[in-house]
Amino acid sequence: MNDHDSPRLIADIGGTYARFTLETAPGAYRHAASLRCAEHADFHAAVTAYLAGLPPGLAGAIEHAAIAIANPVEGDEVRMTNYTWRFSIEQERQRLKLATLVVVNDFTALAMALPRLAPGERRQVGGGRARDNSVVGLLGAGSGLGVSGLIPAADGWIALGTEGGHASFAPRDERELSILRHARRRHDHVSFERLVSGPGLALIHEALAGPGAAPLAAPEITRRALAGSDAACVQTLEAFCAMLGTAAANLAVTLGAFGGIWIGGGIVPRLGEFFDRSGFRARFEDKGRFSDYLRAIPTYVITAGHATFVGASAILAAQLRTLRGEQASAVLAQIRRARDSLSPAERRVADHVLAHPRQALQDPIAGIARAAQVSQPTVIRFCRTLGCEGLSDFKLRLASGLAGTVPLTHAQVTGDDSTLELGVKVLGNTASAILQVREQLNRDALARAIDILAGASRVEFYAVGHDGVVADDAQFKFLRFGVPSASITDPRLQPLAASVLKPGDAAVIVSSSGRIDDLLAVADTARARGAAVLAITASHSPLARKADLALIVDHVEDVATQVPMVSRILHLLVIDILAVGVAMKLGSDGTSALPAAAAEGLDEGRPELPPPAPGARRTAPGVSAAAPLARMTSHSG
- Identify the CATH number of the domain in which residue 591 sits: 3.40.50.10490
Q: How many other CB atoms are there within 10 angstroms of residue 528's CB atom? A: 11
pLDDT band at 402 (very low <50, low <70, confident <90, very high): low
Average pLDDT in the 150-167 region? 83
Of 96, 116, 136, which marks where a domain is finished? Answer: 116
Query: Could you report the per-residue pLDDT of 59-72, keeping only the tens digit for each?
Result: 889 989 999 998 87
User: In whole angstroms, what is the distance from residue 556 CA to residue 410 CA?
Assistant: 11
pLDDT of residue 116 exceeding 80:
yes
- The domain boundary, picked from 390, 407, 439, lies at 439
Least confident of 235-244, 427-436, 479-488: 427-436
Q: Alpha-carbon distance 541 to 511, whole Å?
A: 10
pLDDT at position 135, please? 94
Whether residue 446 sits in one domain with residue 430: no
Tell me, what's the pLDDT at 612? 41
Is residue 472 situated within a structural domain? yes
Residue 250 domain-assigned? yes
pLDDT tens digit sequence for 193-251:
999 999 999 999 999 998 888 999 999 999 999 999 999 999 999 999 999 999 999 99
pLDDT digits (tens, 9 = 90+) for 490-539: 999 999 999 999 999 999 999 988 899 999 999 999 999 999 999 998 87
Q: What pLDDT score does 295 carry?
A: 96
- Does 311 reside within a domain? no
Tell me the sheet residues that pair with 21. Answer: 10
The 10s digit of each residue's pLDDT in 290-338 is 999 999 999 999 998 889 999 999 989 887 776 655 444 567 777 887 8
CATH of the domain at 85: 3.30.420.40
Q: If pLDDT is split at 50, 70 and 90, which confidence band does 636 have? A: very low
Of the candidates 254, 272, 303, which is a domain's last residue? 303
Give 543-546's long-range contacts (Cβ < 8 A, gap of 24+). Answer: 543/509, 543/511, 543/514, 543/515, 543/516, 543/519, 544/514, 544/633, 546/520
294 and 158 in a common domain: yes
Q: Which of 78-92, 127-141, 312-326, 614-628 has the lowest mean pLDDT?
A: 614-628
In 3D space, the residue among 413, 429, 382 whose CA is nearest the CA of residue 94 turns out to be 413
Same domain, 158 and 235: yes
For residue 413, give the CATH number of its domain.
1.10.10.10
* pLDDT exceeds 60 at position 444: yes
Q: Does 337 fall in a domain?
A: no
pLDDT attached to residue 407: 37
- Note down the domain range covering 414: 344-439
Assess if residue 624 is contained within a domain.
yes
- The predicted pLDDT at position 597 comes to 37
Question: Can you tell me the mean pLDDT for 410-426?
Answer: 55
For the domain that residue 239 is a member of, what is the CATH number?
A: 3.40.367.20
Least confident of 145-154, 176-185, 318-327: 318-327
Closest CA to 486 of 511, 454, 463, 517: 463
Q: Do 243 and 138 have their domain in common? A: yes
420 Cβ partners below 8 Å, 6+ apart?
364, 365, 391
Q: Is residue 394 located within the same domain as residue 458?
A: no
Q: Report, as an integer, the average pLDDT of 434-443.
A: 68
Q: Does residue 606 carry a pLDDT above 90?
A: no
- Say how many domains are in the chain: 4
pLDDT at 102 over 70: yes
Q: Is 612 a domain residue?
A: yes
Average pLDDT, the chain: 83
In degrees, to the nearest 5, what angle opens at C-alpha 593 toward C-alphas 592 and 599?
95
Tell me if 470 is assigned to some domain.
yes
Of 356-365, 408-417, 529-538, 602-611, the range with the lowest mean pLDDT is: 602-611
What is the model's pLDDT at position 482? Answer: 86
Kindly state whether residue 192 falls inside one of the protein's structural domains.
yes
3-state SS class at 344: helix
Pairing status of strand 136-141 against strand 261-265: parallel
CA distance 405 to 325: 10
152 and 286: one domain?
Answer: yes
Same-domain check for residues 41 and 85: yes
Greater pLDDT, 556 or 29: 29
- Most confident range (mean pLDDT) of 72-76, 527-531, 568-572 is 527-531
- For residue 631, pLDDT over 50 is answered with no
**Kind plus residue range of the DSSP H or E element containing 334:** helix 330-338
Element (H, E) at 510: strand 505-510
Q: Same structural domain for residues 111 and 200?
A: no
Average pLDDT over residues 119-141: 92
Residue 268 pLDDT grade (very low, low, confident, very high; cuts 50, 70, 90): very high
Among 90-99, 122-131, 577-586, 598-607, the range scoring the smallest mean pLDDT is: 598-607
Does residue 410 surpass a pLDDT of 60?
A: no
Regarding whether 583 and 482 lie in a shared domain, the answer is yes
The segment with the largest mean pLDDT, out of 120-124, 392-396, 427-431, 560-564, is 120-124
Q: How confident is the model at residue 445 (pLDDT cuts 50, 70, 90)?
A: confident
Is 426's pLDDT higher than 60? yes
Identity at 21, one-letter amino acid code: T
pLDDT band for position 253 (50/70/90)? Answer: very high
Same domain assignment for residues 362 and 274: no
- For residues 449 and 432, state if they share a domain: no
Burial of 2 (0-12, 13-18, 19+ CB in 10 A): exposed
**Residue 3: pLDDT band with limits 50, 70, 90:** low
Question: Is the same domain home to 190 and 109?
Answer: no
In the chain, the percentage of residues whose pLDDT exceeds 90 is: 52
